[in-house]
Structure 1
Amino acid sequence: MRVTSDLWVSALTRRAFASGGYAAVVRRGATEAGAIMILVRDRMGETTLYGPAPQTSYDEGRPEERLFTEVARTFDSDEIDKRLEGEMRFDPDIWVIELEVDDTTFKELVSVRTL
């Protein structure tokens, strides 16, 4: 059974702070099952947006795991904002989480699948 979005986000933010990073809930979505979008900003100003991976990415043995895929990567914050606005029009229950952690910590916190 998959944990609620609220609980998963809470755990993510606590683990980010515990690792010496930073995390913020930019937008709070539906408590039970809101989709989660993750913003990661690096030291050079590049922003990467991750969204939920398609259902075909999930392993039948671990369906409760949350998987993400890269949606956009850019130095233009307006492009990311426009993408998020479109996502919010499509699904008003989404969460938006911002993380500032190093690459190693990010890989420990978030499971990313490439398409």
Structure 2
Amino acid sequence: MRLRTEFWVKAYIRRCAVEGASAVVVRHGDDDAGSIFIKIDRLDGTCLLFGPAPAGLEGAESDRQWMPCLNPAGADCSAADAFLSREANFDSDLWIVEVEDRRGRHFLDDSLVTGVS
């Protein structure tokens, strides 16, 4: 059973704070099962953007898994905002968490999925 979205987001924000990064909820979605997108603003006009990995991956039924939504090396913040706006128009239950960290730390290391297309 997967942890409620609200609890996961609160824990993630606390993790960011412990590491010295500022994190805020920019968009509050469904408390139980809303999708989460995480924008890492590097405070230089670029950011990283992570969203839910595709359904059906091993372990995804109990653990949240993440993948880059745009260029994994970084993207323009305006491109990320446009992407998130389109997603919000499609899914009214989604959450957006924005983290400000000049080093681009995302704190999702063990949950990142690579090589999925």
> Structure 1: 5+ residue runs without aligned partners?
none
The structure with the greater share of residues assigned to helix is 1
Does 1:112 find its partner at 2:112?
A: yes
AA matched with 1:80? A
AA matched with 1:19? E
- Farther off after superposition, 44-53 or 94-103: 94-103
Does 1:46 find its partner at 2:46?
A: yes
Matched residues, number: 112
Instruction: Give the TM-score taking structure 2 as reference length.
Output: 0.83
- In structure 2, the residue matched to 1:90 is 90
The answer to whether the Cα contact below 8 Å between 1:57 and 1:113 also exists between their aligned partners in 2 is no
Q: Which runs of 4+ in 1 moved over 6 A?
A: none
- In structure 2, the residue matched to 1:12 is 12
Q: Report the CA distance between 1:103 and its aligned residue.
A: 5.5
The answer to whether the Cα contact below 8 Å between 2:38 and 2:96 also exists between their aligned partners in 1 is yes
- In structure 2, the residue matched to 1:24 is 24
Cα distance change of structure 1 residues 105 and 40 upon mapping to structure 2, 3 Å threshold: closer
The answer to whether the Cα contact below 8 Å between 2:53 and 2:67 also exists between their aligned partners in 1 is yes
- Percent identity (aligned): 33
The answer to whether the Cα contact below 8 Å between 1:19 and 1:105 also exists between their aligned partners in 2 is no
> Structure 2: 5+ residue runs without aligned partners?
none
